[in-house]
Amino acid sequence: MKFRHITLTIFVILILYLAWFSSKSVFIKNNVRQKRTNFLLLGVDFVDQAVHSDTTIFASYSPKQQVVDIISIPRDTYIDVEFTKFKKLTEIYAYFYAKTKSKKLAANELKKIIEEKIFSSST
């Protein structure tokens, strides 16, 4: 009897946690609203005291069409960014990492630039 009570309590706590977590999830919110969700997958290395993105994959999920679009972007792709002298995709990631000291923040900034510069004409 005690085991069932503990199991039920753990199960209820797990359900409450998942409900709370899903309410905070951008993916879940966009899916409910039928809005496209974009992801940036980065493979990074740490060379000579700098972090560079070796692999950049941009993925986009459309709940309306139930389709995932995936594109691998070459690391030496040039992007014109006004506020920095760096032009290569890997250099821009390294710039944001040096500025923020956070891989997550650097990736988010790079994702914004990719969405704006590369994919703005395709939407």
Per-residue pLDDT of 27-55, as tens digits, reads 566 666 677 778 888 888 777 677 777 78
φ, ψ (nearest 5 deg) of residue 108? -65, -40
Question: How many CB atoms neighbour CB 95 within 10 A?
Answer: 19
Q: 86 near 98, Cβ under 8 Å?
A: no
Class of domain 36-122: alpha beta
Looking from the CA of 59 toward its CB, the CA atoms found within 13 Å total: 10
Q: In terms of C-beta density within 10 A (0-12 exposed, 13-18 middle, 19 or more buried), how is residue 119 classed?
A: middle
The model's pLDDT over 13-33, given as tens digits with 9 standing for 90+, comes to: 888 877 776 666 665 666 666
Over the chain, what is the mean pLDDT? Answer: 78
**Is the distance from CB of 28 to CB of 20 less than 8 angstroms?**
no
pLDDT over threshold 60, residue 7: yes
The answer to whether the CB of 111 falls within 8 A of the CB of 101 is: no
User: What does pTM read for this prediction?
Assistant: 0.60
